[in-house]
Amino acid sequence: MASTIGQPLTRVLLSDQVYARVRALIISGELEPGDRLVESEIARQLKVSQAPVREAVKRLVHEGLAQHAPRRGSFVAKVSPDDASAARAVRLVIEELAARTVAERTAAVQPSAEAWDALREQVEAMREAAAEGNVGRFRDADISFHRAVCEASGNPFLPKVWAVMEPSLRALRVVSDPLFTGDWAAMAEQHAGLLAALESAGPEAAAAQFAAHARGDIPGH
């Protein structure tokens, strides 16, 4: 009985490792939009069976980083410029509202210390990732920062809407543009500026700064 319980756990952990490896390649841009995820080839390179690879690819599809086409296979997510523009428009509304709400709550001695700590933690993670040259870690911290802003708003619907959008944002690279060739450390400091705006700039100023960030008006959006 103990042996039976242990076997699925081993398979899941192996799938997690495959998922993390392939996901890192997608986020870093080494696997490009439209590249096919050939399960047999991935399994061969990682020296595992196809079962954990299949599970890992399913997770990537669910997360929005990959797309599955019946009878054709799975591919790194590829989207049109129109879809990217539409996602940016929705993101702008979400971020502007979230920033305004957080700044309004700040005046009432809210959000909680834990919420501010979560935001500061992601800014520090971006700084560390920039210093390491770890683009994948930077992008994860970037999207986590914006998710944390929604959570700090106190509006229970904003995190839910963000959760619906997040797979698309990851796939579209809206949060972290893969073509960005500037200073990652400067981009981290731009997020520090966004955090400062939430703390002291006032609701309308904070909303305007986040809206500019979402539009890409701030370099390294």
Select the more confidently predicted residue: 5 or 111: 111
Beta bridge partners of 68: 74
Domain boundary among 49, 76, 103: 76
Percentage of residues in the chain having pLDDT higher than 70 = 89
> Is position 220 within any domain?
no
Within this chain, do residues 96 and 168 fall inside the same structural domain, yes or no?
Answer: yes
Domain span including residue 156: 81-215
pLDDT of residue 215: 84
87 lies in the same domain as 163:
yes
Tell me what pLDDT residue 177 has: 56
pLDDT at 87: 85
Higher pLDDT, 136 or 109: 136
d(CA 145, CA 99): 12
Query: Residue 181: its pLDDT value, please?
Result: 65
For 179, which DSSP code?
A: T
pLDDT at 220: 43
**Same domain, yes or no, for 89 and 155?**
yes
The answer to whether residues 185 and 106 touch, using CB atoms and an 8 Å cutoff, is: no
Which residue, 30, 59, 76, sits at the end of a domain? 76
pLDDT at 218: 57
The number of distinct structural domains making up the chain is 2
Together in a domain, 116 and 70: no
The CATH number covering residue 60 comes to 1.10.10.10
Query: What pLDDT is recorded for position 12?
Result: 59
45 against 179, higher pLDDT? 45
Reported as a single tens digit per residue, the pLDDT across 200-212 is 889 999 999 999 9
Which among 76, 105, 122 is the end of a domain? 76
- Supply the pLDDT for residue 211: 93
| Torsion 166-167-173-176 (CA) sign | positive
Asked if 23 and 109 sit in the same domain, the reply is: no
Q: What is the pLDDT of residues 65-102, one digit of tens each?
A: 898 999 899 999 887 778 888 888 899 999 999 999 99
Q: Are residues 128 and 176 in the same domain?
A: yes
For residue range 161-170, list pLDDT tens digits in order.
Answer: 998 888 778 7
Same domain, 204 and 175: yes
Whether 50 and 29 share a structural domain: yes
How many C-beta atoms surround the C-beta of residue 217 within 10 A? 11
Q: What is the pTM of this model?
A: 0.76
192 in the same domain as 94: yes
Provide mean pLDDT across the span 50-68.
90
Asked if the structure places residue 102 within a domain, the reply is yes
Same domain, 125 and 196: yes
Give, for 16, the enclosing helix (H) or strand (E).
helix 2-28
Q: Is residue 221 part of a domain?
A: no
- Are 24 and 41 within one domain? yes
21 shares its domain with 46: yes
